[in-house]
Amino acid sequence: LTKNNNIPKVSIVMGSASDMPVVEKTIKILKDFGVETDVMICSAHRTPDIAADFAKKARENGIDVIIAAAGKAAHLPGVLAAFTTLPVIGIPVKSSFMDGLDSLLSIVQMPAGVPVATVAVNGAENAAILAVQIMSLKYEGLAEEMSKYKKVMKENVIKSNELIK
C-alpha cells in the first residue's frame, strides 16, 4: 500500500485461498471506486500471531477499513477486531454446513465490546460498498461516487424492466 494519505485503503483478509473467488468481487468493486486494496491470506487458528500483528498495525499503516472473509467457525473477523480500533467488515463465507449458518453466527453474534460489521453470506459486493460508504466520511469524493453507483443500479433495474415489457 502507498503512503499517500489521500487515497482510501482497504485490507482484505481471508481465512484460506479457497475464499478467493468470493473476495474477488469485493476487490473489483473497491478498485472501481479508486480504493487501494491489499489482499492477504491469514488464519485465526493457523497463523494467529500474524493475524494479531497485522491488525495491531493496520491503523498506523494507513488502512481505513479491514474486510475479513471466513467460513465455518469463522473467527477471523472477530479476532482481527480484537486487535484494532478500525471498523472490521465480516463476510461469512458459505460453508458446506447449512449454507454457512455456522459462518454467519460465528461472525455476527460477537459479544458486547468488539463488533464486526456483518454482511450477507457470500455478500462480497456489499462488503465493498459498505467499506466505501464508511470511507465516504473521510474521503469527500466517495459520497459523490456512491451516489452515481446508486444511480447506475437504478438505471439497470429500469432497463431490465423495459426489457421484459
Does position 114 interact with its own copies (CB under 8 A)? The reply is: yes
Does position 96 interact with its own copies (CB under 8 A)? The reply is: yes
Size of the site for its own copies (CB under 8 A): 88
Distance CA 8, CA 139 (A): 7
Cell representation of residue 80:
482481527
CB 95, min distance to its own copies, A? 7
Do 121 and 149 contact (CB within 8 A), yes or no? no
Considering only residues 26 through 85, tell me which ones interact with its own copies, judged by CB under 8 A.
39-50, 52, 59, 64-65, 71-73, 75, 78-79, 81-83, 85
Does position 153 interact with its own copies (CB under 8 A)? The reply is: yes
Cell representation of residue 61:
499503516
Does position 10 interact with its own copies (CB under 8 A)? The reply is: no
CB 32, min distance to its own copies, A? 13
The helix/strand/coil state of 50 is: helix
Does position 98 interact with its own copies (CB under 8 A)? The reply is: yes
Please give the sequence-ordered ranges of beta strands (E in DSSP) within the chain, or none if there are none. Answer: 9-14, 36-41, 65-71, 88-93, 117-118
Do 27 and 39 contact (CB within 8 A), yes or no? yes
Does position 1 interact with its own copies (CB under 8 A)? The reply is: no
Does position 20 interact with its own copies (CB under 8 A)? The reply is: yes
